[in-house]
Amino acid sequence: MHSNITTKTPPALIGMDHADLLHLCQQAEVKSVHAKQLNAWVFRHGITDTRQIPDLPHALYDYLDGHVGQLKPECMANRMAEDGTHKMLLRMPDGKEVETVLIPGPKRLTQCISTQVGCAVGCQFCLTATAGLTRNLSAAEMVSQVMTARDISDQEIRNLVLMGMGEPLHNYEEVAKFVRIVTDPLGLAFSPHRVTLSTSGLVPGIYRMIEDELPCNLAVSLNATTDDVRSQIIPINAKYPIAELMTAVREYIKFKDKNRVLIEYVMLGGINDSSEDARRLITLLDGLGCTINLLPFNPFSGTTFQRPDDATVSAFRSILVNAGMVTVVRKSKGDEISAACGQLKTEVTARRSKASFG
């Protein structure tokens, strides 16, 4: 006989902000000061087994036993490149897998965070998009990426970028909670200036970030200078065209008071890399003070897009720089460990499939 009763998994402690922890203390009928203890031991010391946290009242231990859980993803693949790029494939308790990457830089280590299992946006140049969307990640699952990487890495993580698998603004509630946990001085205590959310152009989400005063920076994956081209490579542009997107960017810059918005521009050979594109980009960004991040396309198996040659990239950048635009060409890192978004997961999945069929 099968039971219709399902057991609900208790919420993970690492997905709780300070207000949640205060509520736990209230429910356990203990002093609110113990919420700060929980904050410190969980986020500063990485102790998620509540029985290992010292000096809590017995009533709180007992309450936590029945009302909170742990979340420790299993690391299914762990690759380190010669340039120091470190990529992990993490399996969540339900078996779904996501990638997170540690990217070294001068005097800093940046972690790239996934916000969804897969993605629904369908950008034509993105490997993650080929698998579609499976589900959103919870704030706890995003925090678990940071805490897992922190345990594995021997270097302090200084910056967080929500640029991994998924469209963050399609998972706004959980992403916003994650951002508030990691920037809370009582939480993981990252400076808001060191946390960046990247979007493919969900205009309502940008306005919501403004309304909620979300404590992070904004990056916009623009990747084209005409609606014709952008709609072909980023389907969401048909709903939120470039003019509408740039209006939202202007409003965000006003809200952030002189903080730069990062404009990401994936360069696709023969598609969006002409001198005319560069000049149109200058016009689009005129007066906004944006930083432009040029990303020569990182090819993957099955794609028809090409990486532009170095001379084309250099000429494109020169036009922007000569117009006074702060422009950086991002060097591809971790090529030998499948570091581009979605590559490691695809590679591991293909290997498993091959093994299954002998």
Question: Which run of H or E residues covers position 347?
Answer: helix 343-356
Q: What is the pLDDT of residues 46-82, one digit of tens each?
A: 998 999 999 999 999 999 998 999 999 999 999 988 8
Q: Is the pLDDT of residue 264 over 50?
A: yes
Q: Is the pLDDT of residue 313 over 50?
A: yes
Q: In the predicted model, what is the mean pLDDT of residues 312-340?
A: 82
What pLDDT score was predicted for residue 54? Answer: 93
What's the N-to-C CA distance of the chain in angstroms?
37
What pLDDT score was predicted for residue 353? Answer: 44
Quick one: CA torsion of 239, 196, 306, 203, rounded to 10 degrees? 10
Q: In the predicted model, what is the mean pLDDT of residues 25-39?
A: 95
How far, in Å, CA of 285 to CA of 280, rounded? 9
To the query of whether residue 341 is one of the catalytic residues in this protein, the response is: yes
Q: In the predicted model, what is the mean pLDDT of residues 137-146?
A: 97
Q: Is the pLDDT of residue 281 over 90?
A: yes
Q: Is the pLDDT of residue 4 over 60?
A: no
Q: Is the pLDDT of residue 171 over 50?
A: yes
Q: Is the pLDDT of residue 149 over 90?
A: yes
Nearest CA to 307 out of 317, 318, 299, 315 is that of 299
How far, in Å, CA of 210 to CA of 333, rounded? 32
Q: In the predicted model, what is the mean pLDDT of residues 253-272?
A: 89
Q: How confident is the model at residue 330 (pLDDT cuts 50, 70, 90)?
A: confident
Q: Is the pLDDT of residue 260 over 90?
A: no
* CATH number corresponding to 13-67: 1.10.150
Q: Catalytic one among 119, 123, 290, 341?
A: 341
Q: How confident is the model at residue 332 (pLDDT cuts 50, 70, 90)?
A: low
What pLDDT score was predicted for residue 94? Answer: 94
Q: Is the pLDDT of residue 3 over 70?
A: no
Q: What is the pLDDT of residues 83-138, one digit of tens each?
A: 889 999 999 999 999 999 999 988 889 999 999 999 999 898 888 877 789 999 99
Q: What is the mean pLDDT of the chain?
A: 90
How far, in Å, CA of 165 to CA of 126, rounded? 10
Q: What is the pLDDT of residues 173-191, one digit of tens each?
A: 999 999 999 999 999 999 9
Q: Residue by residue, what is the 3-state secondary structure of 233-270?
A: HCHHHHCCCHHHHHHHHHHHHHHHCCCCCEEEEEECCC
To the query of whether residue 75 is one of the catalytic residues in this protein, the response is: no
Percent of the chain with pLDDT over 70: 90
Lowest mean pLDDT of 4-18, 175-189, 221-235, 248-262, name the range: 4-18
What pLDDT score was predicted for residue 31? Answer: 96
Q: So where are the chain's domains?
A: 13-67, 74-353
Q: Is the pLDDT of residue 162 over 50?
A: yes
* 218 strand-pairing partners: 197
Please answer whether residues 295 and 123 qualify as being in contact, where contact means their C-beta atoms are separated by less than 8 angstroms.
Answer: no
What pLDDT score was predicted for residue 205? Answer: 98
How far, in Å, CA of 26 to CA of 48, rounded? 20
Q: Catalytic one among 97, 99, 174, 264?
A: 99
Q: For domain 74-353, give the CATH superfamily.
A: Aldolase class I (3.20.20.70)
